[in-house]
Amino acid sequence: MAILHQAQLHPSKMELIEQWLRAASWYDGPAQPKVTQIASFRFDDPAGEVGVETHIVRVDGGPILQVPLTYRGAPIQFGESDLVGTMTHSVLGDRWVYDGTADPVYTDCITGTILNGGSEAQLFRHADGHNVPVESSAHVVGSGPGSVSDQGYSLRVVRQLGADAAAPDGPTLTGTWDGQETPILLAYLESR
């Protein structure tokens, strides 16, 4: 269960994503990207400490990107390029925002969702002392265990969506949202 607060964010999530994309090694779009959010979904951190959210964004009317982020109440040691930025949340205070693919909380959440045939977290908006259910703008589903090698697996997150990604043999995470009714590949586990 993910609790959404009625809060002001500075800078906004989209502003942070635009700034970070300019330096992201995997990004090859415009040097000054303008992103528009299409959809998003969340996973639950079992410890309840880390916000885990994935944004589906369109860059300058062009490619659709998947940008997984984690939100933490204190900085942690990852690679320098894994810090997307910091923001002030009017309810929770300062937040350190990281590339989800580098954060073990994100990788554990998405891997568990894939292997267990799970889906995104239920969302609740906290208002007037109550938690009111709201719908996620994206729906994701894991395929279940499938065939994973005894030698282990590597998580692969698809950054540019719909780029003719071949369906892998192993376990997958697919998603749909308004305007994308056919499930699209978001991530998969690849045998080592």
89-100 pLDDT, tens per residue? Answer: 666 668 889 999
pLDDT digits (tens, 9 = 90+) for 106-130: 999 999 999 999 999 887 777 777 7
List the domain boundaries for the chain. Answer: 2-191
Whether residue 104 contacts residue 79, with contact meaning beta carbons closer than 8 Å, is answered with no
Q: Name the residue among 148, 161, 71, 138 with its Cα closest to residue 114.
A: 148
Q: Which of 125, 117, 8, 9 is nearest to 69 (CA)?
A: 9
Rg (alpha carbons) of the chain, rounded to whole number: 16
Which tens digit of pLDDT belongs to each residue from 29-77? 888 889 999 999 989 998 988 999 999 999 997 889 999 999 898 888 7
Rounded to two decimals, what is the model's pTM? 0.89
Please say whether the beta carbons of 57 and 65 come within 8 A. yes
